[in-house]
Structure 1
């Protein structure tokens, strides 16, 4: 496989979302990836098989019981010739498998350790929803459609892997890079925590030029907060920047007509699309 990581070897034990997101991105960059799954498989395979297949493209998937001594020796052999090792388990589980010091045995290895929490809370259970719950990014009782922390955690793991490969290429020993999903959630929440996207904030509903409106046969999202976009739109349609005025305007035309207007005047207006099988 060609790409900037061609020739690099990735071994991943990570299941669910952040680790597989990272492995998919690194594989797309040209790395050879071996994913080792437990006998029960990756839970993602059972809940969202199509997403599982998407995140596994081009990878060598192997089922291995790491509780078996011989199986762990096979893993050690793989790590001896690998560049990046991805795990996503609590520190105690990593220690029980004897993998917490993998970089000491394999100095060329970069270990990406994805965990939920750090410090005194290192063994605390968590998932995307509970990480988000701590930082005021949820609307009770709505469950978010996008697992933002898992996705961004995967991207942080990719960045850490690239840094690790670069460090080793410069003659430095490999080391463990810990990706803490609780910290990822806090960083992701910064726009809300600092008054940009929370309820009543400029991008949270206060500015009528940035929002979602009913059209005649659906919904459109508009993002005309930059002066030149709004100047064009208001000049053409004589619109006032109020929720009421824009609601009355957008309901007059079907979605397709608003999309044509967006193309014609170079405006950020988009159709709000439903997921397959969901009503519009």
Structure 2
């Protein structure tokens, strides 16, 4: 693992902040990865795993470490991991020692599960006044007990089109960013008031946040970045595809010029004939030719092979 230079270490905003995480699967560990990069000292508490591998190594208690070891390894680089059974007295006692010197507790359990473990906010705040708590939940309020996953939250937000799975775990990753943001907010607030704060981050809200451009109509087929603008589309070319992003007027003018079209007014990029002309022009070019034209004429595009 690469070491951090002294000058960079001094500039890290969470240097000296201690974070204990009970959060499993993707959003919590991804948030913890971000927080470690910001300088936090991170401890991950996992339940006992289901046994050992064929090589005799313990299987992680976090399901992510069971179904994708590669992702698990990347997210936990530089993070201390301890195995505790929080259902027995010894495990709870060890966790209590860690919380006594921690600044933030990150969780992803349902509220009822936290209460059963004695980790409800009121009890924690009474026992550890300095401790802030960031809770990652599926949804806020009464829906916090509902089961859900990235796919269900994206579907609810209108981000699942047809029967294809989304290309990445958008709600989980956006939720991880929102959780790291919540940790930063708690740290700032606690430094001012001298007490820990609690914040909840809902994955359903993260999906809804990502869906706002679609809600506004921007990414609908009739929207400028949904396919209605001829300069902002994915076109087939001779040996692949090109993601064309000539949206702003000066980029659109450059695209129209190299495609042999008259300088466009505001309405021209939305005209069917413009779409057809640019599609025909792009189809006659190779990826390398388009890459060269992009550099020469300052056109934002990215070529993709078949």
Name the TM-score, length of structure 1 as normaliser: 0.93
Aligned residues: 274
- Report what 1:249 is aligned to: 281
- Do the aligned partners of 2:231 and 2:255 also contact (CA within 8 Å) in 1? no
Structure 1 match to 2:157: 135
Structure 1 runs (4+) deviating above 4 angstroms are none
Q: 2:174 aligns with which of 140, 146, 152?
A: 152
Please tell me whether Structure 1 or Structure 2 has the larger radius of gyration of its CA atoms.
Answer: 2
Q: Which residue of 2 aligns with 1:44?
A: 64
Backbone CA RMSD of aligned residues: 1.5
* 1:159 CA displacement: 0.9
Q: Does 1:190 align with 2:199?
A: no
- Distance in 2 separating the partners of 1:194 and 1:236: 32
Q: CA deviation at 1:187?
A: 1.7
Q: Deviations over 1:160-188 (max 9, x none)?
A: 10111111212331121000111222222
Matches within 5 A, 1:164-179: 164-179=186-201
Q: Match of 1:13?
A: 22
Distance, in Å, in 2 between the alignment partners of 1:271 and 1:12 is 41
CA contact (8 A) 2:287 2:304 kept: no
Distance in 2, matches of 1:123 and 1:141, equals 27
Structure 1 gaps, min length 5: 274-279
Quote how far apart the aligned CAs of 1:115 are: 0.3
8 Å Cα contact 1:211/1:223 also seen in 2: yes
Deviation per CA, 1:73-124, whole angstroms, max 9, x where unpaired?
A: 1001101101111000111111111111323311111101000012222210
> What's the TM-score once normalised by structure 2's chain length?
0.85
**Cα pair 1:103 1:176 within 8 Å, conserved:** no
Contact 2:259 2:278 (8 Å CA) reproduced: no
Cα deviation, residue 47, structure 1: 2.4
